[in-house]
Amino acid sequence: MAAPSYDTMKAGYRTLWDAMDISPARLNAVNSVAKRINDSKLRYQQVAAKFPGMPWYVIGMWHYRESNLDFRGVLHNGEKILGTGRKTTLVPAGRGPFTTWEEAAVDALRIKNLQNIRDWPIERIGYESERFNGFGYLRFNVNSPYLWAGSSLYTMGKYVADGRYDPNHVDKQLGVITIMRRIFGEGYATEPQKQVIVPPEPVGEGPDSSGAAVDEGKPASQSQTIWAKIMNFILGGGAVGGSAIFGMDWRIAVAVIAVMAALAAFIIWQRLKRPDIKRGPVLTWLLGPPETVV
């Protein structure tokens, strides 16, 4: 079964987080586990420092699920192989050997490429927690006890061994998201801010004093009127003016060129009529004799 993507799953984790309540019968146990995780905060922070952005308590919660917070058990799967020279035999098999718990924890997290994740909202914590354990519960339409055991969102159903699911088995451990609710509630850590995407305001619109949308208009350079195009051509000049002509409708371009040609002809005509301009026979025939200065 291919793992679902974060984008397809994240909304579901937020919905479940908002709906979740801790089961009253498990509240004392949840409080105890949350405190124990906080008591080992410095060790989890040492590992988290190698994964910028990753919350330290996520490592602690996974440690609880994998080895009941026993530092003799590796984060991968809880096997007690530290300092023995042996490698893991359970999934993921063949990891190690490891000398310290921290060394093993870093390896377990890098297998999942968690060093590439910088942002850890609630949705990401839910997704990566389930990915760390596996998405096998999705096929049975059961909320994973790895996340939700001890809450109002889990009743029964558990993988009692690798690849072996028992629909009637109740997970006695607590889920990591259930524990996280108490970690935030006790003040051991601060809940990540919910990601809010604010859509950009439409261009050219905004509220007036009455709260109604108003059209602020647009600059002349964006106007489609003939006079605005002529104004852009005149003010643009040179290459900008040429670009304006080629971007116009051909009828508008012809009108602009005609106006500019007439203006240029008028200026040249007035210039040539000045008495200080020397005329050849052709200009004299066209313009007549020069004006006499009195």
Residue 61 and residue 179 in one domain: yes
What's the pTM? 0.67
Summarize pLDDT for 216-258 with one digit per residue, the tens. 444 444 444 444 444 444 444 444 444 444 445 667 767 778 8
194 in a structural domain: no
Instruction: Tell how strand 164-166 and strand 205-207 pair up.
Output: unpaired
Summarize pLDDT for 67-102 with one digit per residue, the tens. 999 999 999 999 999 999 999 999 999 999 999 999
Residue 114 and residue 254 in one domain: no
Residue 262 and residue 173 in one domain: no
78 in a structural domain: yes
pLDDT above 80 (res 116): yes
Neighbours of 134 (CB within 10 A): 16
Residue 150 and residue 74 in one domain: yes
108 in a structural domain: yes
Structure tokens at 121: 């909202």
For position 163, what pLDDT does the model report?
Answer: 87
196 in a structural domain: no
Residue 30 and residue 174 in one domain: yes
216 in a structural domain: no
Summarize pLDDT for 163-197 with one digit per residue, the tens. 899 999 999 999 999 999 999 999 999 999 775 54
* Domain tally, the chain: 2
180 in a structural domain: yes
pLDDT tier for residue 63 given thresholds of 50, 70 and 90: very high
Q: Give the whole-angstrom CA distance, residue 103 versus residue 100.
A: 5
What is the maximum alpha-carbon separation in the chain?
A: 120
161 in a structural domain: yes
Which of 165, 185, 205 is the last residue before a domain boundary? 185
Domain encompassing residue 274? 222-287
- pLDDT > 70: percent of the chain: 70
Neighbours of 106 (CB within 10 A): 20
Which of 185, 211, 246 is the last residue before a domain boundary? 185
Residue 166 and residue 231 in one domain: no
Residue 177 and residue 36 in one domain: yes
* Partners of 214 in beta bridges: 206
Q: Give the whole-angstrom CA distance, residue 203 versus residue 158.
A: 53
183: exposed, middle or buried (Cβ count in 10 Å: 0-12, 13-18, 19+): buried
Residue 52 and residue 132 in one domain: yes
260 in a structural domain: yes
Residue 65 and residue 139 in one domain: yes
Which of 129, 160, 185 is the last residue before a domain boundary? 185
Summarize pLDDT for 33-57 with one digit per residue, the tens. 999 999 999 999 999 999 999 999 9
Residue 236 and residue 151 in one domain: no
